[in-house]
Amino acid sequence: MTYAFTAEQEDLRRTARDLFGRTCTPGDVRAAWEPDADQDRSRWRRMADLGFLGANVPTEFGGSGLGDAELTVLLEEAGYAALPEPLLETAAIVVPILREHGSPEQRETWLPRIASGEVLATAQLMDAPAAPYGTVADLALLELDDGLHLVPGDRLTREPAPSMDGARHTAALRGVPDAGTRLPDAARVDARSRGAAAAAAVLNGVTRRLLDMTVAYAKEREQFGRPIGSFQAVKHLLAEVALEVETARPAAWYALTAVAEGHADAGLASSAAKAAANAAATTASYHTLQVHGGIGFTWEHDLHLWLKRGKALEFAYGSLRHHHRVLGDAVVTCPDLMATFGPALSAAS
């Protein structure tokens, strides 16, 4: 299929890039690693004012009602900025699950508060040991043995958990579920698909930032009296990263659209998108660090902030091995699927 963003979606992208460029600098990302950083929600409220948090919240609940597809550009820009707030979990997972599977009371209670920026939500899915932003979440989706539960913050127990990316403030969450918190069975599959597709879009934004930072560095850093970017070996490394991320991005665009519109292949499209994004991020991590040299992983250099965000997201909502297994099982069951998802498997292998 041909995928092109509308003028309105591109305007939304520019708005997001402008906001994050001003309020989410590398210095701001570093500051988010501090233990008390979770108490400042000024950027979160600003995102709500611009309609980011309510992009796919129906208008009757205070949202803009744009739709899930509009989140694509926001998620990529969030990854590009290494945004230290759970836009992915709140807007791309919890909101649509609430909207599609929540009870009338749950929708009326939570959707307006999310759209206004009052509530910050997270998700702990697929046997994940901890949830990103679990230390600060006001609402959580918890995948338990009996299904998916929507648990308010005052009914959560939280145990801070280590993370490669300190800005994500992870915590192992345990809830007090009951019949009133449990969502329909279909919500579990939907949440997994949405998590994988949305995480792929964010991860592609991270990879683009790694590439852009390294291209800029290669133009400035000199050896033997020449910028290292003029060396063929360096060009080949960066060209490989560019090829992989530009291949992975359309897979995420389609997956988010497929999930939003309820396509029959939504689950497989999400796995293909996450597999491709994971593979591109792995390549980018190796190559961009190699071009930077040792300085790229020092605390003083900004590159490590995106390296660590990318590595954390690679294992969130399904690893490369997990999604390869999903796609491989589907191809074995229905060989005709190879025509559709074969390129994604090849690119991600």
Q: What is the DSSP letter of 135?
A: T
Q: What percent of the chain has pLDDT over 70?
A: 94
> pTM score, two decimals?
0.92
Burial label, 32 (beta-carbon count in 10 A; 0-12, 13-18, 19+): buried
The predicted structure's pLDDT at residue 276: 96
Pick 67 or 263 by higher pLDDT.
263
Domains and CATH numbers, the chain: 7-184 (1.10.540.10), 186-348 (1.20.140.10)
| Position 119 pLDDT exceeds 70 | yes
In this predicted model, what pLDDT tens digit does every residue of 23-44 receive, in sequence order?
A: 999 999 999 998 777 667 999 9
In this predicted model, what pLDDT tens digit does every residue of 148-165 receive, in sequence order?
A: 999 999 999 999 999 999
**Residue 102 CB neighbour total at 10 angstroms:** 21
| Position 1 pLDDT exceeds 90 | no
Q: Using N-to-C axis directions, what is the helix angle for 185-220 and 266-292, rounded to 10°?
A: 20
Between the CA of residue 65 and those of 53, 60, 87, 131, what are the distances in Å? 11, 9, 16, 27
- Taking the C-alpha atoms of residue 338 and residue 349, their distance in angstroms, rounded to an integer, is 14
The predicted structure's pLDDT at residue 115: 96
In this predicted model, what pLDDT tens digit does every residue of 326-344 receive, in sequence order?
A: 888 887 777 665 555 555 5
Tell me the three state secondary structure of residue 258: helix
In this predicted model, what pLDDT tens digit does every residue of 187-205 receive, in sequence order?
A: 999 999 999 999 999 999 9
- Please identify which residue in the block is written with the tokens 């910028």: 227
In the predicted model, what is the mean pLDDT of residues 166-175? 93
Pick 2 or 233 by higher pLDDT.
233
